[in-house]
Amino acid sequence: MADSPSAHRVVLSSLGADRLTVRRRPRPRAARPTARSRQEVLHAPAAHTGRDGVLSGALLAVKDNIDVAGAPTTAGTPALLGHVPRRSSHVWERCARTGGVLAGKTALHELAYGTTGQHALGPAALDPHSPDHLAGGSSSGTASAVAAHLVPAGLGTDTGGSVRIPAALCGIIGYRPTTGRYPTAGVVRVSLTRYTVGVMARSVPGVRLLDGVLAGAPPRPFGARVPHPLRAVLPAPLWADLDPQVERVCRVACERLRAAGWYLVEESWSDVVWSDVLRSATLVPAYETCSALGGYLAEHPGAPSASEVLRGCEVPLPETALTPRHSPDTRTKDQPIS
């Protein structure tokens, strides 16, 4: 199918039929996408609001650490409870220019610093498929809203899994792009080098459409194939001690990837101490937290300092994250936290 504005208007699923109540219900079995279903990823013609652009009136959930002008950005932490940015983040500006409409800001793990969704401003978001289970984190609210069919898609952020984890737990698609693909201005970051905005939707075409909007690049035509084989590594430590149901689902997914032309390589990584890998994955962002947070707050006159925000957190943070670093992004009024 050709990529045309009219095709994109029906690319994002019918919002009227998607407004389901959050209750326990079986997960639908994923169907092989047809030409029509690819067009209905985020919209149906009845949902068109007259806005121009590829999003054309689509309602989007936005994680509450991404600025939307005039709406509070709390990052789930008490010190930012009254923080209302005057300017939108660059990613939301791109969504709005192409017709995206804010459905609401969504809950997150405090400062996006965890995977359970716990925060100081209210209850954690739950998995709408199983309300006695958490939705994961840190982009818990967006994942829950998309999975509950309250919105067709939304924005999260990801440092070490904060888009991918809740997407996996809630049965939707979560995409973390290469760092630098999307702009980060106007986002409450906790890392300078690992942090990125991510996309969440109920289908790959929906993610693909939002990716093109946020990257500022036209997406590939629907059904376009990558001209060279794709390669993925399956590290053995990540497959150890899996729940049998989880392993079965993951193996089926691997077979689907192989059938689609992916080349999967299983590596033992016998010379790698996995605990050291996990430690480094958290140590680097934690080292950068005060500088990254200070850089954001410096753009907002009257906002608290990074030290004040971190000192007021109710969810425990690594000690490394509480120590200011010498960086042009760190506010001069930051003092060591006692």
Residue 87: its H or E element: none
Is 13 annotated in the active site? Answer: no
Q: Residue for token digits 């010498």?
A: 326
Is 63 annotated in the active site? Answer: yes
Quick check: 217 and 251 in contact, CB under 8 A? no
Quick check: 63 and 143 in contact, CB under 8 A? no
Question: CA 327, CA 158: separation in Å to the nearest integer?
Answer: 22
Catalytic position from the list 56, 138, 203, 307: 138
Catalytic position from the list 140, 144, 162, 191: 162
Is 144 annotated in the active site? Answer: no
Q: Biggest alpha carbon distance in the chain?
A: 60
Quick check: 299 and 310 in contact, CB under 8 A? no
Comparing CA positions, the residue from 327, 252, 296, 301 lying closest to residue 90 is: 296
Q: Residue for token digits 């990823």?
A: 41
**3-class SS at 215?**
helix
Catalytic position from the list 13, 63, 140, 307: 63
Active site residues: 63, 138, 162
